[in-house]
């Protein structure tokens, strides 16, 4: 009875207790209502009103922790919640100590009554969608020790009341849009240990007072717009170990303009001042005694200069980043030695450092980046313990033999250097290699099979070299390979793949090589492929329908090949870059590809068209596709009418052609007109001329030719030799004064029509490579033509059009050009060649007979280098000055560098007559490039033989049975041009002296070896040699020229030569 009475009396007590604590549950349920999406059900499936404890606190709810019958913690971290929350509801949780909900998608704002969270000690709502400014009441959170608002959209100023947060130890406001000046009130937070204000929009100067915050260990202000001087005493912080002021606008104070390195606290271990405007030189260790504990120093992306100190005064330095400054000189030996510093990471990239890099012996250095400097010499013999090594964009030369002693490299970048030779067959030290970049060098030979034996290789880039030979199909079977770049080489053959063992390639670039054959269907099984580029090859056959199975494909470029047939349907939906131009595709463009511009399909593909559009249509005719179908009878009438009209036109064309042939004369009088149809046989004896120059008897190049008639294997006639050197036929010599380029020295009677008998005589097809010029064969026939010169290819003319436009027209000699399909394909590849030092091709003409093939290019006046340089009768203008000659050399090197590295093609026919000088400024532009790609093998051999007589042929071409121009043979020919510029002589001149008769290259080589190199200089340059700078420059060019004419394995690439000439 007493027990029953006690229970009855206690019921009101429990009822009151339930009512007292229900406000915590109500607050949480209000927050639950705001949740729109809970992917895991962590909150929505757990927060139920009936599932609470006896004392009214829902400790069984996920993320809720109770203490003494009150909610103390609410922890909803990393749940992916989506909500529009009113955080003011949590003010009812009077005992709430911790509120944590980072990494969700919760929006809202900090409530104005945030100061009512009196018990709150920890608040983390980072990485959400909260916005608005900070309420001033935030200063009332006197118990708060940790506050993180990072990664939201908060904005505005930081209120001054924040100084009242006396208990705060960690404050993170990073990655928001706070603005204005940093409030000095922050420096009053004496308990603060960590302050992160990075990635906001703070401006102005850094306020004083941080140095007096004795508890502060981490200060991060990076990624703002703070400016002003960095006080040299400022970073003398009492206890800070981590300081990051990077990515601001700080500059050096006036006292630091000469020597910069702020005095810092002994406690600082990590100092990052990168991406600022700091200037001055780094002081030596003798002036600094406070770097004992510094482990990370990052001063990259500033304007610091001078030489580097040895850093031997920083005992524990592990990471040193000084990239993208203006440091010069050599690298201190201590930075790369194994017994000095304990560096693990060193980044000195993008400075002006120079000198050789012979050896790296550090046993602690794992990351070394010396890219984008001016280091020279061979590759280092040893690389210590480096796992990541970047030596790209320097001037290293030589071959790869030194890498056999390198350690276990994981990342290796040697791109954009002057390395030559082949890749050695070495494996053990590269078993960990996952990234290899050797692009933009002068590597030759074929792909080594060792490349397929690197088990962890993910990225392989050997693009823009001179690699040849067959493709290694095993590269596509490497299970780890994700990117393969072999573009801009000379790799040939077909690609043969098995149906199994294909790697998970994502990027494959084989463009601008010499691949041929069919493109394998098995590529469709590489479903992870994102980028496929095989442009500029000789692939043929139909485009595999299996490409539609490459569901991840984003970019496809198969342009400049010989593909035929129809485009596949159902191409990958993610395709956003597409190019099939310059092929022979046909049919209707599939609907899913019509979103791409016409340039993705044309030029080329004459039988390809959009729906209801004509063959080869460059635009889709959407209006016509919307019209209603025409009446069937009308369609029949139109079709029959078209057939009849076409039949009549064919009969008429046959009749006109018959009449024209019957009226044509089998012979042409070449004494009256310069005819495009005939190539006169040049004959007649030419007396050998000699010249006494510099104490040596010189037999001129054009007098060294022997008789030749028809066969390319026979010796070249004296007249043809003179034509090749001078640009004028000796058969005209009795009428005109001799000139290396006869363009403006012809007599008036030699201006003639291309064909005065028939204005429409050119009845073939005239094509242009761009739309900047419009011209018909008839208009070209009427153009007055002036002979510019003759060579093994044919005759060049200056054609003056009715509009006044001047064109240089090369009429190719019969039998030298390839068949039409190959010819057209190759010449279209030149359409995009545009460079200030390269004469662009404008178009071509293909006539109905074998000898009617023309190449049209811009006409450049006043003439060729030969016509200004050689000491011959009729030389144009006064002798060239040294400044003019040096400029010409740099211009030619720049043009060759463009062809070699940007277009990945050798010139193949470089000589002084193919260097044209534009305007009075003597801007040099090279012409007649890549003609060997338009010619038969016999035509190419004849071109190379002619170059040999003129002195421009590289020795390796003379020794080959099937010679083919290369990048290195271009360098040899350029070296001869440099010698011509220095001596004023022709490369084919034979010079007789004490050593007998030698050619120009051998004569200069002997003189240089004897220390008599100055005897080789053009006599007209002697008055300038009194200038020390001129003499020094000429000697430097001699050295460069002699390097160019070395053996092929020792010959540098044109990039090296261009950079060396540009630095004179």
Rounded to two decimals, the pTM is: 0.66
Residues pairing with 177 in the sheet: 155
CA atoms in the 13 A half-sphere facing the CB of 703: 13
Nearest to 753 by CA among 781, 777, 718: 781
Tokens matching residue 218: 């981490």
Residues pairing with 835 in the sheet: 838
Give the chain's radius of gyration (CA, Å). 39
Residue 378 CA to chain centroid, in angstroms?
A: 24
- CB atoms near residue 550 (< 10 Å): 23
Q: How far apart are CA 914 and CA 899, in angstroms?
A: 15
- CB atoms near residue 679 (< 10 Å): 16
* Element spanning 1008, H or E: helix 1000-1009
Write the CB contacts of 866 (distance below 8 Å, at least 6 apart in sequence): 725, 726, 727, 740, 741, 911, 912, 913, 915, 986
Write the CB contacts of 996 (distance below 8 Å, at least 6 apart in sequence): none
- Kindly tell me the burial class for residue 901, based on how many C-beta atoms sit within 10 Å of its own C-beta (0-12, 13-18, 19 or more): buried
Strand order of the β-sheet with 326-329 is 259-260, 279-282, 303-307, 326-329, 352-356, 374-376
Q: How far apart are CA 175 and CA 619, in angstroms?
A: 48
CATH topology of domain 19-109: 3.80.10
Domain ranges across the chain: 19-109, 330-444, 690-1062
Q: What is the pLDDT of residue 158?
A: 95
Q: What is the pLDDT of residues 706-725, one digit of tens each?
A: 333 333 333 333 334 333 33
Q: What is the pLDDT of residues 793-843, one digit of tens each?
A: 788 888 888 888 888 898 888 878 888 888 888 888 787 788 989 998 888
Strand order of the β-sheet with 696-699 is 690-693, 696-699, 990-993, 996-999
DSSP conformational letter for 299: -
Cβ–Cβ < 8 Å for 247, 274: yes
Quick check: helix, strand or coil at residue 64? Answer: strand
Nearest to 568 by CA among 598, 593, 551: 593
Residue-wise burial string across 702-732, b where 16 or more C-beta atoms lie within 10 A, e elsewhere:
bbbbeebeeebeebbbbbbbbbbbbbbbbeb
Taking phi first (over 0 means left), then psi (-120 to 50 degrees means alpha), and beta for anything else, what does residue 394 get?
beta
For residue 723, what are the CA distances in angstroms to 494, 730, 746, 943, 1049?
A: 42, 7, 14, 13, 33
Nearest to 792 by CA among 950, 685, 925: 950
Cβ–Cβ < 8 Å for 441, 463: no
Q: At what angle do helices 1028-1044 and 967-983 cross, to 10 degrees?
A: 150
Where do the DSSP E strands lie in 566-625? 577-579, 584-588, 607-609
Backbone angles phi, psi at 1024, to 5 degrees: -85, -20
For residue 322, what are the CA distances in angstroms to 270, 372, 780?
A: 14, 13, 62
Where do the DSSP E strands lie in 279-325? 279-282, 296-298, 303-307, 319-321
Q: What is the CATH number of domain 690-1062?
A: 1.10.510.10
User: What's the count of helices (H) and strands (E) in the chain, helices before strands?
Assistant: 15, 61
Q: How far apart are CA 943 and CA 298, in angstroms?
A: 57
Quick check: helix, strand or coil at residue 517? Answer: strand
Q: How far apart are CA 172 and CA 122, in angstroms?
A: 12
Q: What is the CATH number of domain 330-444?
A: 3.80.10.10
Q: How far apart are CA 482 and CA 465, in angstroms?
A: 21
Taking phi first (over 0 means left), then psi (-120 to 50 degrees means alpha), and beta for anything else, what does residue 409 get?
beta
Residue ranges in the chain whose pLDDT is less than 70: 1-21, 52-55, 231-236, 253-264, 283-291, 338-340, 426-429, 498-502, 613-637, 640, 653, 655-761, 850-851, 873-874, 920, 993-997
Nearest to 325 by CA among 291, 288, 275: 275
Token pair 């004296």 is at which residue?
A: 718
Q: What is the pLDDT of residue 621?
A: 44
Say yes or no: do domains 330-444 and 690-1062 share a fold.
no
Is the Cα dihedral 964, 970, 976, 981 positive or negative? positive
Is the Cα dihedral 188, 191, 197, 198 positive or negative? positive
Nearest to 771 by CA among 905, 928, 599, 600: 599
Quick check: helix, strand or coil at residue 658? Answer: helix
First vs last Cα of the chain: how many Å apart?
116
Cβ–Cβ < 8 Å for 828, 604: yes
Tokens matching residue 352: 């002006």
Q: How far apart are CA 304 and CA 276, in angstroms?
A: 10
CA atoms in the 13 A half-sphere facing the CB of 291: 22
């Amino acid at each position: 009875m007493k027990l029953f009475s006690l229970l009855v009396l206690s019921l009101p007590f429990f009822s009151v207790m339930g009512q007292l604590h229900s406000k915590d549950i109500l607050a949480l349920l209000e927050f639950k209502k705001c949740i729109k999406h809970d992917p895991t059900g962590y909150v929505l499936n757990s927060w139920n009103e009936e599932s609470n404890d006896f004392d009214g606190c829902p400790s069984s709810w996920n993320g809720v922790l109770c203490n003494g019958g009150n909610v103390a913690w609410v922890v909803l971290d990393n749940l992916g919640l989506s909500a529009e929350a009113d955080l003011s509801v949590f003010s009812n949780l009077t005992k709430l100590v911790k509120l944590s909900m980072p990494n969700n998608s919760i929006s809202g704002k900090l409530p104005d009554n945030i100061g009512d969270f009196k018990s709150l000690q920890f608040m983390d709502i980072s990485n959400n969608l909260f916005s608005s400014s900070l309420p001033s009441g935030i200063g009332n959170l006197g118990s708060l020790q940790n506050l993180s608002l990072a990664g939201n959209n908060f904005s505005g100023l930081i209120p001054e009341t924040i100084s009242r947060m006396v208990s705060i130890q960690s404050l993170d406001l990073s990655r928001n849009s706070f603005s204005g000046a940093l409030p000095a009130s922050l420096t009053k937070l004496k308990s603060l240990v960590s302050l992160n204000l990075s990635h906001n929009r703070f401006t102005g100067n850094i306020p004083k007072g941080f140095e007096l915050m004795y508890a502060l260990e981490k200060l991060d202000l990076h990624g703002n717009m703070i400016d002003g001087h960095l006080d040299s005493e400022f970073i003398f912080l009492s206890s800070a170990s981590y300081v990051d002021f990077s990515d601001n606008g700080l500059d050096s104070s006036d006292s630091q303009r000469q020597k910069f390195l702020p005095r810092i606290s002994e406690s600082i271990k990590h100092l990052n001042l990168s991406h600022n405007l700091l200037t001055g030189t780094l002081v030596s260790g003798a002036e600094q005694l406070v770097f004992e504990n510094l482990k990370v120093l990052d001063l990259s992306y500033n304007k610091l200069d001078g030489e580097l100190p040895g850093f031997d005064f920083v005992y524990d330095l592990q990471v040193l980043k000084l990239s993208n400054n203006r440091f010069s000189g050599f690298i201190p030996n201590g930075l790369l030695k194994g017994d000095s510093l304990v560096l693990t990471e060193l980044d000195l990239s993008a400075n002006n450092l120079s000198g050789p890099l012979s050896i790296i012996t550090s046993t602690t250095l794992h990351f070394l980046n010396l890219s984008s400097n001016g280091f020279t010499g061979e590759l280092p013999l040893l690389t210590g313990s480096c796992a990541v090594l970047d030596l790209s964009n320097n001037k290293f030369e030589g071959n790869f033999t030194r890498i056999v002693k390198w350690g276990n490299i994981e990342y290796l970048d040697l791109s954009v250097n002057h390395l030559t030779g082949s890749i050695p067959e070495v494996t053990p030290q590269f078993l960990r290699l996952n990234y290899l970049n050797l692009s933009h060098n002068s590597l030759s030979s074929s792909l080594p099979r060792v490349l397929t034996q690197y088990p962890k290789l993910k990225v392989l880039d050997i693009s823009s070299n001179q690699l040849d030979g067959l493709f290694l199909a095993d590269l596509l079977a490497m299970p780890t390979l994700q990117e393969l770049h072999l573009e801009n080489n000379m790799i040939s053959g077909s690609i043969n793949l098995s149906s199994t063992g294909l790697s998970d390639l994502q990027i494959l670039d084989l463009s601008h090589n010499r691949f041929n054959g069919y493109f394998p269907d098995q590529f469709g099984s590489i479903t992870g492929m994102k980028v496929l580029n095989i442009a500029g090859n000789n692939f043929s056959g139909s485009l595999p329908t299996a490409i539609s199975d490459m569901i991840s494909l984003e970019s496809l470029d198969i342009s400049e090949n010989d593909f035929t047939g129809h485009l596949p349907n159902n191409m990958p939906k993610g395709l956003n870059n597409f190019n099939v131009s310059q092929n022979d595709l046909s049919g209707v463009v599939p609907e899913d590809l019509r979103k791409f511009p016409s340039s993705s399909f044309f030029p080329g593909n004459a039988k390809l068209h959009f729906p209801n559009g004509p063959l080869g249509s460059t635009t889709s005719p959407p209006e016509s596709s919307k019209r209603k179908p025409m009446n069937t009878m009308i369609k029949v009438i139109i079709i029959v009418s078209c057939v009849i009209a076409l039949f009549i036109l064919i009969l008429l064309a046959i009749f006109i052609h018959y009449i024209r042939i019957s009226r044509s004369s089998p012979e042409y009088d070449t004494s009256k007109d310069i005819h495009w149809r005939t190539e006169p046989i040049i004959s007649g004896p030419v007396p050998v001329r000699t010249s006494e120059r510099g104490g040596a008897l010189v037999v001129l190049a054009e007098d060294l030719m022997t008789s030749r008639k028809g066969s390319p294997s026979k010796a070249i006639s004296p007249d043809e030799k003179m034509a090749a050197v001078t640009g004028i036929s000796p058969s005209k010599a009795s009428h005109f004064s001799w000139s290396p380029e006869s363009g403006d020295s012809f007599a008036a009677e030699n201006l003639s029509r291309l064909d005065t008998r028939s204005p429409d005589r050119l009845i073939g097809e005239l094509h242009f490579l761009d739309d900047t010029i419009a011209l018909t064969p008839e208009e070209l026939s009427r153009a007055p033509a002036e002979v510019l010169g003759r060579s093994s290819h044919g005759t060049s003319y200056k054609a003056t059009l009715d509009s006044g436009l001047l064109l240089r027209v090369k009429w190719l000699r019969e039998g030298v050009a390839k068949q039409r399909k190959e010819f057209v394909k190759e010449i279209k590849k030149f359409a995009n060649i545009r460079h200030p030092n390269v004469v662009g091709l404008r178009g071509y003409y293909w006539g109905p007979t074998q000898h009617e093939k023309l190449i049209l290019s811009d006409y450049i006046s006043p003439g060729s280098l030969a016509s200004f340089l050689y000491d011959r009768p009729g030389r144009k203008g006064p002798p060239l000055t040294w400044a003019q000659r040096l400029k010409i050399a740099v211009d030619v090197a720049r043009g060759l560098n463009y062809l070699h590295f940007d277009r990945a093609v050798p010139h193949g026919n470089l000589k002084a007559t193919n260097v044209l000088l534009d305007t009075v400024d003597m801007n040099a532009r090279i012409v007649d490039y890549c003609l060997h790609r338009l010619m038969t093998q016999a035509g190419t051999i004849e071109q190379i033989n002619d170059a040999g007589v003129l002195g421009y042929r590289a020795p390796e071409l003379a020794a080959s049975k099937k010679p083919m121009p290369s990048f290195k043979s271009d360098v040899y020919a350029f070296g001869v041009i440099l010698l011509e510029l220095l001596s004023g002589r022709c490369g084919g001149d034979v010079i007789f002296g004490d050593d007998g008769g030698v050619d120009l290259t051998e004569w200069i080589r002997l003189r240089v070896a004897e220390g008599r190199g100055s005897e080789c200089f053009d006599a007209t340059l002697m008055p300038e040699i009194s200038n020390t700078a001129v003499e020094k420059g000429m000697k430097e060019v001699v050295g460069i020229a002699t390097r160019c004419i070395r053996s092929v394995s020792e010959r540098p690439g044109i990039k090296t030569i261009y950079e060396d000439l540009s630095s004179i």
